[in-house]
Amino acid sequence: MADPSKITRLRVLSGMRSTGKLHLGNYVGALKNWVDLQNSGRYNCFFFIADWHALTTDYADTSLVKQNSIDVLLDWLAAGLDPKLSVMFIQSHVPQHAELFVLFSMITPLGWLERNPTYKEQRENIHDKDLGTYGFLGYPVLQAADILIYQAGYVPVGQDQAAHVELTREIARRFNQFYPRRDGSGFVFPEPQTLLTPSPKLPGTDGRKMSKSYGNTVMLTDPEPVVRQKLKTMVTDPARVRRTDPGNPDVCPVGDLHKIFSSAETINSVNAGCRSAGIGCIECKSWAANALLEVLKPMQERRRQYEENPRLAWDILEAGSAQAREASEATMVQVRAAMQMSKEYEGAG
């Protein structure tokens, strides 16, 4: 098991909401980066499933939350997150997050939350759910607690989360101002840095950004025939109508897939073949499918052992959550002391 008490290496922390099975866009945009950070051996990595955050939008029907958490976990393990190297846990099993959330709620000005761009955008765009709740407004306060409770140095996230990490830094600063350590030795919270995931544009089968809500995804669990079928229906360079028309891989979503997943050799063949009409789109797409399957197959292989024995995966989450409770309680002891609210009896007056 990874040892969370070792803070000689910098801590990395990130999370994903329990949204269910992941697609290639989730892999390229986040998960692959997490696996690389883990394997670099330079950090103490904490990765967690934000099931409370899932409730901010799905509170009215909680029937899928737990299964969604398990599906996310299986994809993490499939992609190569390794419980020997990273602490994987589930937010709702670490009540310390909620305690710190309450304390942060006391010091976070409402204006900071109302001005948050994600909040404004979602309130304007999501109409099939009532987002007029206290929990939804407080989403970034909970996220700040998730991050700061591990005194994390780095938070690997996509650009869409950068504003939340910035708010986390502001909350850390405000806490540190009000409650410096009582022994004069500085502050409880470091200001975490965003580790922006270098995310190449990954198109879905319709050419738009791959996204669950567009229904254009390739799932990490899609079997080979499904992957091949999805690629067959994928849109291509619209200028290439007939087999004899030359095309341009730089304006073709299939060309984008090659750039991310194919070998330099294949990319050269695509470039030459497409521009000279030497290859057809059907052949080109089958090469792209091959490249995707080379990434997906080892994942699906690794996933199998956990699908056959889901208990194994749950045990990993339980053990990780115990480690997370230990690490987060260590921070809470410092938080309570700085706020003069420690649990020890300190005498009268």
Can you say whether the dihedral through the CA atoms of 154, 157, 158, 164 is positive or negative? negative
The CB-of-300 to ligand SF4 minimum distance in angstroms stands at: 25
Decide: is 16 part of the binding site for ligand TRP (CB under 6 A). Answer: yes
Residue in the structure block whose two tokens are 């994928």: 234
Can you say whether the dihedral through the CA atoms of 106, 111, 112, 118 is positive or negative? positive
140 vs 273, beta carbon nearer ligand SF4: 273
Decide: is 285 part of the binding site for ligand SF4 (CB under 6 A). Answer: yes
DSSP string covering 74-139? HHHHHHT--TTTEEEEEGGG-THHHHHHHHHHHHS-HHHHHT-HHHHHHHHH--SS---SHHHHTH
Chosen residue from 17, 32, 230, 258 binding ligand TRP by CB under 6 A = 17
Tokens found for residue 305? 């052992």
- The span of 70-78, 121-129, 157-165, 320-328 binding ligand TRP (CB under 6 A) equals 157-165
The CB-of-347 to ligand TRP minimum distance in angstroms stands at: 39
**Radius of gyration over every alpha carbon of the chain, rounded to an integer in angstroms:** 23
Chosen residue from 50, 90, 94, 171 binding ligand TRP by CB under 6 A = 50
- Cα 260 from Cα 32, distance rounded (Å): 12
Tokens found for residue 114? 């109302």
47 vs 287, beta carbon nearer ligand TRP: 47
Decide: is 254 part of the binding site for ligand SF4 (CB under 6 A). Answer: yes
Q: Which residues bind ligand TRP (CB under 6 A)?
A: 13-17, 50, 53, 143, 146-147, 155, 157, 161, 164
Positions that interact with ligand SF4 (CB under 6 A): 236-237, 240, 247, 249, 252, 254-255, 270, 274, 279, 281, 284-285
